[in-house]
């Protein structure tokens, strides 16, 4: 094809775009123009390690925090730096370039650069009329996965940059939320002949059980897991979204029934990570709020397994909120304490203006309520039991320290449930109005 034919095809937009990622590190890229659009291009190129030369009589690069050296075209700029040639563009400025960007605001200059690039067989991008250039910059979304790999998604949309950005943003949201298939399909770098390189462990707080209350980070690492070790109170509906090859190990506990002891759970995490698998320990609430996350973290570290804690929305705060009970409220409660209902509840100081949140306390509710009655915390202190917060059988039973155990028994209250003690209980819609 002649140069004229190639130019005509490029101008007409004939043929489909061939998507391609360019490795520009250490290579010369010429940017013609010095305004804000050019500065954004330069920033991206510098971040990619390119040798960047800017040709423009004026520039705002310094205002963008870029290190700029104003100098003639003697030699190439160092990688990751910007060489500024302070004048208008001239034919020959593309000599030695691998790529050209033009953002001049002048149709005449853009056309001159495009013609020179065509003759020099250098691809060029224009920020003005896209049909003038021979390459296009897509809207890009990047995310780093749990194994360190970077996923880059580039979107073009028929030379409609706003549409491309809208699609890019939607894809980026799905990458961050874990809605897309992010699991590693090849053995990680550094694997031995058997494909076994140590995996990683994530201790993920899944929140109170509602799938919408797990953090974006938690959902993202869950989507990349090879093995999921799950509790009974985690957001188990998310397990249905996992790929069929993901191994799910249920270690859920119920009141008085711990089929998998904690030391065996610790061993499972280490065992699968040593086999080269990425492991998510999916827990209810937050891993560090009575979730024994600290013990699991210590076990992984002792075995030299990389481990990260992903915090979760603790049920101690979120479940009372589900039924309209804030744990603090101006003029009513200035602080709160969270403890288990197994023992020690009676030792917590404070009166009705200090909220007590008791986890795992249904079985011993009668004894706990009696022990909590003190001179500072009278028998008529409001109390509530919230069952299955955010679950299908969510229910709240209210009373006082003197009546809550009998009312809970009459209602047939069952775990999982959270007990709230203090004047904030009166703020719940379930509290009877005078």
Instruction: Supply the DSSP string of 143-164, one letter for each residue.
Output: EE-TTSPEEEEEE--TT-HHHH
Evaluate the CA torsion angle 65, 66, 67, 70 in order and state its sign. Answer: negative
Catalytic residues: 231, 253
Q: CATH second-level architecture of 200-313? A: 3-Layer(aba) Sandwich (3.40)
Instruction: Supply the DSSP string of 321-384, one letter for each residue.
Output: HHTT--S-BTTTBSEEEEEESSS-GGG----TTEEEEEES-STTHHHHHHHH--SSS-TT-EEE
- DSSP strand pairing (51-55 vs 28-32): parallel
- Of 339, 315, 340, 313, give the one whose Cα is nearest residue 325: 315
- DSSP strand pairing (200-205 vs 51-55): unpaired
pLDDT in tens, 101-121: 999 989 999 999 999 999 999
With both helix axes pointing from N to C terminus, report the angle between 404-411 and 365-372 in degrees, rounded to the nearest 10: 160
Determine the Cα–Cα distance for residues 144 and 64; give it in Å rounded to an integer: 25
317-427 has CATH 3.40.605.10 classification: no
Residue 70 pLDDT: 66
* Backbone phi, psi, residue 223, to 5°: -70, -15
pLDDT in tens, 145-167: 776 778 888 888 877 778 888 99
In the predicted structure, residue 372 carries a pLDDT above the cut 80: yes
Residue 68 pLDDT: 75
Give SS3 for 218. helix
Beta strands (DSSP E) in 3-160 are: 28-32, 51-55, 68-70, 82-85, 99-102, 123-126, 139-144, 150-155
pLDDT in tens, 386-417: 999 999 999 999 999 999 999 999 999 999 99
Domain boundaries, the chain: 3-137, 140-177, 200-313, 317-427
Helix and strand counts by DSSP (H, E) for the chain = 10, 18
* C-beta separation of 33 from 103 below 8 A: yes
In the predicted structure, residue 66 carries a pLDDT above the cut 80: no
Evaluate the CA torsion angle 292, 296, 298, 299 in order and state its sign. Answer: positive
CATH number listed for the domain at residues 3-137? 3.40.50.720
In the predicted structure, residue 90 carries a pLDDT above the cut 70: yes
* Backbone phi, psi, residue 3, to 5°: -60, -40
Residue 114 pLDDT: 94
Which band of pLDDT confidence, cut at 50, 70 and 90, is reported for residue 373?
very high
With both helix axes pointing from N to C terminus, report the angle between 293-302 and 262-274 in degrees, rounded to the nearest 10: 40
Which band of pLDDT confidence, cut at 50, 70 and 90, is reported for residue 227?
very high
């Amino acid at each position: 094809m002649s140069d004229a034919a190639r130019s005509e095809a490029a101008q007409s937009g004939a043929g489909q775009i061939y998507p391609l990622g360019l490795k520009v590190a250490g290579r010369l890229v010429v940017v013609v123009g010095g305004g804000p659009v050019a500065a954004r291009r330069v920033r991206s190129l510098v971040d990619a390690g390119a040798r960047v030369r800017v040709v423009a009589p004026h520039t705002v690069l310094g205002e963008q925090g870029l290190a700029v050296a104003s100098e003639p075209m003697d030699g190439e700029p160092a990688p990751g730096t910007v060489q500024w040639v302070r004048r208008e563009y001239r034919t020959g400025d593309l000599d030695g370039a691998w790529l050209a960007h033009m953002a001049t605001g002048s149709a005449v200059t853009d056309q001159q650069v495009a013609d020179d690039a065509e003759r020099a067989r250098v691809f060029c991008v224009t920020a003005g009329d896209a049909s003038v250039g021979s390459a296009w910059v897509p809207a890009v979304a990047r995310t780093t996965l749990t194994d360190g790999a970077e996923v880059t998604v580039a979107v073009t949309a028929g030379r409609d940059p706003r549409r491309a950005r809208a699609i890019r943003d939607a894809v980026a949201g799905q990458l961050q939320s874990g809605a897309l298939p992010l699991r590693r399909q090849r053995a990680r770098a550094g694997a031995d002949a058997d494909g076994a390189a140590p995996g990683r462990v994530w201790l993920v707080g899944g929140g109170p059980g509602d799938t919408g209350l797990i953090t974006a980070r938690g959902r993202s690492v869950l989507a990349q897991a090879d093995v999921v070790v799950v509790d009974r109170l985690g957001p188990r509906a998310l397990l249905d979204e996992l790929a069929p090859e993901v191994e799910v190990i249920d270690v859920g506990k119920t009141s008085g029934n711990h089929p998998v002891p904690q030391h065996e759970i610790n061993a499972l995490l280490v065992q699968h990570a040593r086999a080269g698998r990425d492991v998510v320990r999916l827990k209810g609430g937050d891993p560090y709020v009575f979730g024994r996350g600290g013990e699991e973290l210590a076990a992984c570290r002792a075995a030299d397994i990389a481990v990260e804690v992903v915090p979760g929305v603790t049920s101690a705060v979120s479940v009372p909120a589900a039924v309209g009970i804030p744990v603090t409220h101006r003029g009513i409660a200035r602080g709160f304490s969270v403890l288990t209902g197994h023992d020690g509840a009676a030792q917590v100081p404070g009166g009705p203006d200090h909220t007590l949140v008791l986890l795992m306390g249904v079985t011993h509710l009668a004894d706990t309520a009696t022990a909590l009655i003190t001179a500072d915390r009278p028998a008529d202190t409001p109390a509530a039991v919230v069952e299955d917060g955010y679950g299908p059988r969510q229910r709240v039973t209210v009373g006082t320290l003197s009546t809550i155990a009998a009312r809970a028994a009459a209602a047939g209250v069952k775990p999982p449930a959270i007990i709230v003690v203090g004047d904030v209980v009166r703020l719940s819609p379930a509290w009877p109005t005078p």
